[in-house]
Structure 1
């Protein structure tokens, strides 16, 4: 690692809790990893999305986005690197297979694209942890991705060229620009729950259009926020491949099966 990289400081701040899971303290708060499963239509596990959990010194939960937004940009980079390291170590310790989806700040994606040594170092880290880099998916929210040749789009393509999967999250949460997806061709499009709810209430235009777009560009389609059997079966009838939501599986800690 470069001597002043955010991940160098991250390594030094890791601790093990009483369950032997990795945790860390940052900016007066405790950071933890939990993981929500992602399922195939058949019911098999495709992988897990890593989720950050933040608690203040009194044990009160803080929304991760609120916590990160409270930090200066340099601290956001450090906190994001720390969260990623926690997720990687805890996932490796669980011995789980399948894909691991990591949420990343756009600031982080662009910063790391400017560091020529970053992706080789990350690949070495994954190899040391026993995680196949082809199983790691980097996830950004759709409305952060620019049209055309914006800096974030180029940075994401750089990550893809290094062998990582790319996922566009919350597609449809805001006024979605299909041109962004056509230009990026992400491996996975995560359809926002609002489109699912519209479909269940009879307004199926937006969801059908997004599915057609994804299939056209070759993306795997994932519906978020599945909370009932009715919703699951409705999406299955449309041919959606991947599913995430409380009906399928809630975020939770993973068991520790080996030392890493």
Structure 2
């Protein structure tokens, strides 16, 4: 990828040749990818922003592994930097749909001074003319169930500020989902393992989890749809939202207007 020489934000941000925002942190480069999410009928619901990381040698690194090797403070910096390029790149696309952002728990939890990063994020959205109502925070069910009350309080505060909430990997834990049910997010993203189990003949657990989600008022999304057969099976169960390589792979968004 050819990079321009336009430095932004103390040299941490730059643009590629097409005008998309990228970032540099500790010798690694960050890029945005966006995977589409569709309604049952096939129309576009929105995009999930995904981080792509390239090391000093030009090798692509799994984002989870990269973030996991950082200190807590460094991971928060990387998380905020990734969110910055995602928001700006999405805003430059001028698309009229939802954006989902993966977050670290620390983003919405209060620090020792009672502060969060949410006001800063809302200010960023306003600066690029995005409505927080169209932005959905996504956090894994494991985090919700393990972090306890501070995270629940932070996510509720985010909801009160107008952001949407989604719980990712729902059902992967095999637990009773107590805190997730208490949170009552806008969207539950069914873990792909349940889709695969259902297609292999285990037809009890997935419908039960769908029923649980509908009972508490959540929209249900199935991840990892990779074949027409999987798509039709999930449609038959009444799932509303869909994501997976069969429907659309992660990619860059065209720049409609540079910001």
| Superposition TM-score, scaled by structure 2 size | 0.92
For 2:10 and 2:257, locate their aligned partners in 1 and report how far apart those are by CA, in whole Å: 19
For 1:189 and 1:114, locate their aligned partners in 2 and report how far apart those are by CA, in whole Å: 31
Note the residue ranges of structure 1 that are not aligned, 5 or more in a row: 1-8
Question: Which moves more between the two structures, 140-149 or 21-30?
Answer: 140-149
Give SS of 2:109's match.
Answer: helix
For 1:113 and 1:198, locate their aligned partners in 2 and report how far apart those are by CA, in whole Å: 43
| Superposition TM-score, scaled by structure 1 size | 0.92
1:87-98 alignment runs, 5 A limit:
87-98=86-97
Structure 1 equivalent of residue 24 of structure 2:
25
Structure 1 equivalent of residue 195 of structure 2:
196
Deviation, 1:27, is 1.8
1:215-254 alignment runs, 5 A limit:
215-254=214-253
Contact 1:15 1:23 in 2 (8 A): yes
Structure 1 residues 120 and 210: CA distance shift in structure 2, 3 A: same
Deviation, 1:173, is 1.7
Contact 1:146 1:153 in 2 (8 A): no
Give SS of 1:100's match.
Answer: strand
1:68-147 alignment runs, 5 A limit:
68-111=67-110, 116=115, 118-146=117-145
Give SS of 2:221's match.
Answer: strand
Structure 1 residues 117 and 62: CA distance shift in structure 2, 3 A: closer
Deviation, 1:117, is 6.9
Higher helix share: 1
Contact 1:147 1:179 in 2 (8 A): no
1:207-218 alignment runs, 5 A limit:
207-218=206-217
Structure 1 residues 12 and 59: CA distance shift in structure 2, 3 A: closer
For 1:113 and 1:245, locate their aligned partners in 2 and report how far apart those are by CA, in whole Å: 39
Structure 1 residues 102 and 30: CA distance shift in structure 2, 3 A: same
Give SS of 2:108's match.
Answer: helix
| Cα deviation 1:151-185 (Å, max 9, x = unaligned) | 11111111111110010001112223321222000
| Cα deviation 1:189-210 (Å, max 9, x = unaligned) | 0000000011111112111111
Contact 1:10 1:85 in 2 (8 A): no
Give SS of 1:253's match.
Answer: coil
Give SS of 2:46's match.
Answer: strand
Deviation, 1:116, is 4.3
What is the number of equivalent residue pairs in this alignment? 252
Question: Which moves more between the two structures, 22-31 or 103-112?
Answer: 103-112
